[in-house]
Amino acid sequence: MIETSTPNKLSNLNKKDPSQKQAAVFHKMKRLKPLSIRKPSIAKKRPQIKNISQQFSHAETILSITDLCVYFSATKVLKNININFPKKGLVAIMGPSGCGKSTLIRAINRMHELDQSTNVTGKLMLGNQDITTLPAMAVRQRIGMVFQRPNPFPNMTIFQNVLSGYILTGMRLNKKQKNEIVIENLKKAFLWDEVKDRLHERGTFLSGGQQQRLCIARSLAMQVDVLLLDEPTSALDPIATTRIENLLQTLKKEIPIIMVTHNTAQASRISDYTAFLYLGELIEYNKTKIMFTVPSDKRTEAYLMGRFG
Ligand X SMILES: Nc1ncnc2c1ncn2[C@@H]1O[C@H](COP(=O)(O)OP(=O)(O)OP(=O)(O)O)[C@@H](O)[C@H]1O
Among 54, 61, 101, 195, binds ligand X (CB under 6 A): 101
Buried b (16+ CB within 10 A) or exposed e, 200-238: eebbbebeebbbbbbbbbbbbbbebbbbbbbbbbebbee
Among 22, 54, 84, 103, binds ligand X (CB under 6 A): 103
Q: Taking CB under 6 A as the rule, does residue 192 contact ligand X?
A: no
Q: Which is nearer to Mg ion, 16 or 33 (CB)?
A: 16
Q: How far apart are CA 181 and CA 174, in angstroms?
A: 11
For the chain, helix (H) and strand (E) counts, in that order, are 15, 10
Query: What is the radius of gyration, based on Cα positions, of the chain?
Result: 21
Q: How far apart are CA 70 and CA 97, in angstroms?
A: 17
Q: How far apart are CA 285 and CA 111, in angstroms?
A: 24
Among 5, 36, 51, 97, binds ligand X (CB under 6 A): 97
221-226-231-233 Cα dihedral, nearest 10 degrees: 40
Residues 113-132 that bind ligand X (CB under 6 A): 115
Q: Taking CB under 8 A as the rule, does residue 164 contact another protein?
A: yes
Q: How far apart are CA 62 and CA 160, in angstroms?
A: 30
Residues 102-121 that bind another protein (CB under 8 A): 109, 111, 114
Among 22, 54, 84, 102, binds Mg ion (CB under 5 A): 102
Q: Which is nearer to another protein, 132 or 268 (CB)?
A: 132
Nearest CA among 126, 227, 224 for reference residue 166: 224
Please, what is the minimum distance in Å from the beta carbon of residue 216 to Mg ion? 18
Q: Taking CB under 6 A as the rule, does residue 152 contact ligand X?
A: no
Query: Binding partner of residue 170 among Mg ion, ligand X, another protein, none, CB under 5 to 8 Å per kind?
Result: another protein
Chain residues that interact with ligand X, rule: CB under 6 A: 18-19, 72, 77, 95, 97-103, 115, 262
Chain residues that interact with another protein, rule: CB under 8 A: 109, 111, 114, 137-138, 140-141, 144-145, 147, 149, 151-155, 164-165, 167-170, 202, 215, 218-219, 222
